[in-house]
Amino acid sequence: MYTTSIHTPVGFAVISGNEDGITSVRCSDDPVPESPFVPTILHRCARQLEEYFENRRRSFNLPLHPHGTPFQRAVWQMLAEVPYGKTMSYMELTRRLGDEKAIRAVAAANGKNPIWIIIPCHRIIGSNGDLTGYAGGLGRKKWLLEHEQIANGQLSLF
């Protein structure tokens, strides 16, 4: 596994993977040591994330290989379908997956998302519109949502 990182407006994006694709993108307050060799795909991911933060990218074109259970991967696939600049509630996400009783499991899978921003777990909010749980911290979640709203020509969600 190889690692690189880039500085973003909300901290460092730490990108991990191999020649076959991206296995994780996580946020960090501190830089991490870069692997002596960094595959091209990690550089491509870094460039696409930079474009996202510069408001020049709304979707990503990368091979993703997150590690998780089949249920987690189903939730992450559904997260990837939430459009840029839009939000969805945990309950709506759960309904789309077909079982309202699974809301806690869906929320837990959302929290285990290993590919920050690219699999947009930040776009999932409470049914009442509140920002709830975010592994990167609610400040980062708010920043990301506002970033996407402003890029869409809206002043702010909050």
Residue 61 lies in a domain: no
| Active-site hit among 42, 121, 125, 144 | 121
- Domain of 76, CATH number, reads 1.10.10.10
Q: Is residue 107 located within the same domain as residue 141?
A: yes
Domain count, the chain: 2
Q: Is residue 145 located within the same domain as residue 76?
A: yes
Q: Is residue 17 located within the same domain as residue 74?
A: no
Please give the DSSP secondary-structure letter assigned to residue 1: -
CA–CA distance, 40 with 62 (Å, rounded to integer): 11
Which residues does the chain have with pLDDT short of 70? 151-158
Domain residues for the domain of 118 are 70-151
Residue labelled with tokens 């969600």: 157
Q: Is residue 77 located within the same domain as residue 143?
A: yes
Q: Is residue 78 located within the same domain as residue 114?
A: yes
Q: Is residue 42 located within the same domain as residue 84?
A: no
The pLDDT of residue 141 is: 94
- The question of whether 27 is a catalytic residue gets the answer no
What is this structure's pTM?
0.92
Paired tokens of 122: 């930040």
Residue 40 sits at φ, ψ, to 5 deg, of: -55, -40
The pLDDT of residue 155 is: 53
